[in-house]
Amino acid sequence: MKFRSRRVAGLIALVAACSGFVLASGPANAASTPVKYVALGDSYSAASGVLPVDPTAPQCLRSTQNYPQVLAKKIGAKLDDVTCGAADTTHFFKPQYPGMKPQLDALKPDTELVTMTIGGNDSGVFINAILYCGSSGLSTLGTGSPCKDKYGSSFEDTIRNTTYPSLVKALDAVRKKSPKARVAILSYPWITPKTGGCFPTMPIATGDVPYLRLLQTTLNDAVRRAASATGVTFVNLNGVSEGHDACKPIGTRWVEPVLAGTNPVIVHPNALGEAKMAEQTEKVLSKVPESPRPTVESPKPKVVPQTRIRKSVVKRAKRKAKFRFKSSVAGSRFRCSLDRRPFRKCKSPRAYRHLKSGKHRFRVKATSAGKTDPTPAKKRFRIRR
């Protein structure tokens, strides 16, 4: 009886949270109807690679141990799980595979709870970044920052200019389909550590580890901002997933690496990661919102800036060079260095005159809100004799 009463009380609290109001008191049978829960989203919601696979949608690689299934069991909800590996925001509106319906079709006016991870597959930007940086890391045997040097801020620019408005459109559509539902969107758990990495288990060059980390920070922040703009609850996994990236050992990591992993689908959450995603979602949802349009769970995190050299003009015969550069964070300050000289404050463009003949190396790094780019942008050039 003691266990039963606790379960009923917990379910009442969740129903209250999903409905946007607090039940001061009530009989036990007030929670007799399970919460109507719809799970949307991509492979991080589907738990692609975690066994066993849901036989009702084999093409989606949806696991019966994904975080929506774990959460539904914890709260006693009636779940309609339409998560699907490789889904992006367009699949909210159109079928992903023949014979399937758009994910939004699962939503009803009386749906009470909706969760999702979405956005990581939009424009192929995040998965392409992992693939490109992996191949680049292999080409240099894990040294340098070949991916950052080649792609610069292009991935982040796509997230800000394309992924973010797509997220807002998708979340607005969810709220319109189920106006009474508590809607929650999760960030993506950390894939890489802040620095260092674990080449070749994750075949990312040492200098590209913070580059990929910043890209995921930008993606998670786009999710946060879209949630804030549409009145959706943001489940922030940044803090709780720190120290559980793909470079950690089995039993600690929440995301599987490229090599020596336990899942057939690489760089995706394992069963432990999905369970922890469910745990954090339940924790956030148990906090009854003050209004039907909940506020963001945490303030905007400080973003580490990324520096890119936009243009370089080297006049070898005149022994002059000029560099134009930018930061991924507006309002950043810069420090420049030529050859082995120490970094000093500078502005774009930075010009050098009367250069000695021979090889030279220009470096520049951005600083914003106390955060400095750990991998300065660089350009090698030569002055004629």
d(CA 313, CA 104): 51
Mode of pairing for the β-strands spanning 182-186 and 233-235: parallel
Strands 344-346 and 333-338: antiparallel
- Whether 100 contacts 237, CB under 8 Å: no
User: Cα 257–266–114 angle (5° rounding)?
Assistant: 110
Task: Give the DSSP per-residue string, 334-363.
Answer: EEEEETTSPPEEE-SSEEE-SPPSEEEEEE
Question: Which is catalytic among the residues 268, 328, 332, 368?
Answer: 268
234 close to 155: Cβ distance less than 8 angstroms: no
| Residue 360 falls in the annotated catalytic set | no
Of 43, 153, 327, 332, which residue is the catalytic one?
43
> d(Cα 4, Cα 59) in Å, to the nearest integer?
38
Residue 309 DSSP SS3: strand
Task: Count other C-beta atoms under 10 Å from residue 279's C-beta.
Answer: 15
Quick check: is 354 catalytic? no
Distance separating alpha carbons of residues 23 and 17, to the nearest angstrom: 9
- Under 8 Å between Cβ of 32 and 251: no
Confirm if 322 and 347 have CB atoms less than 8 A apart.
Answer: no
- The residues annotated as belonging to the active site are 43, 268
